[in-house]
Amino acid sequence: MQVIDTKNAPGAIGPYSQAYIASGLIFTSGQLPVDPATGDMPEGIEAQAEQSCKNVLAILEAAGSGAAKVVKTTCFLAEIADFAAFNAVYARYFTSKPARSCFAVKDLPKGALCEIECIAEA
């Protein structure tokens, strides 16, 4: 197993890694819409979805992979009413249409509106 750590995505805010490579697959931790350069979160679901996608892809890139190798994503929304707006952004990044689960949760860390995690081929 190999730990993935990049400065191009936010550091873990708890006792976990950004990602692991195991058995030829990359497993990312959930990525909040935190800008790794500033530590801030943008306003609104579209901007937050964009930042979460960028963070996931930065981790995959650091692992030598990319969006085209994603086989499964799990997406968490603070409000299911944001589903369509989130999808519009998500679709621009995950054009290979990996398998996905997307659901609303009660709360997300830091008051985020969305979070994305994925499994990809290494």
Domain boundaries along the sequence of the chain: 2-121
CATH class of 2-121: alpha beta
Q: Which residues are catalytic?
A: 102
Q: Reply yes or no on whether the pLDDT at 14 is more than 90.
A: no
Q: Where are the alpha helices (DSSP H) in 1-122?
A: 45-62, 83-93
For the chain, give the percent of residues with pLDDT over 90.
Answer: 98
Q: Which band of pLDDT confidence, cut at 50, 70 and 90, is reported for residue 103?
A: very high
Q: Reply yes or no on whether the pLDDT at 74 is more than 90.
A: yes
**Residue 13 has what pLDDT?**
80
The residue length of the chain stands at 122
Average pLDDT over residues 9-20: 92
**Residue 45 has what pLDDT?**
98
Query: What span, in angstroms and rounded, lies between the C-alpha atoms of 91 and 82?
Result: 14
pLDDT, tens digit, 9 for 90 and up, residues 17-60: 999 999 999 999 999 999 999 999 999 999 999 999 999 999 99
Indicate the helix (H) or strand (E) that contains 111.
Answer: none
Q: Reply yes or no on whether the pLDDT at 71 is more than 90.
A: yes
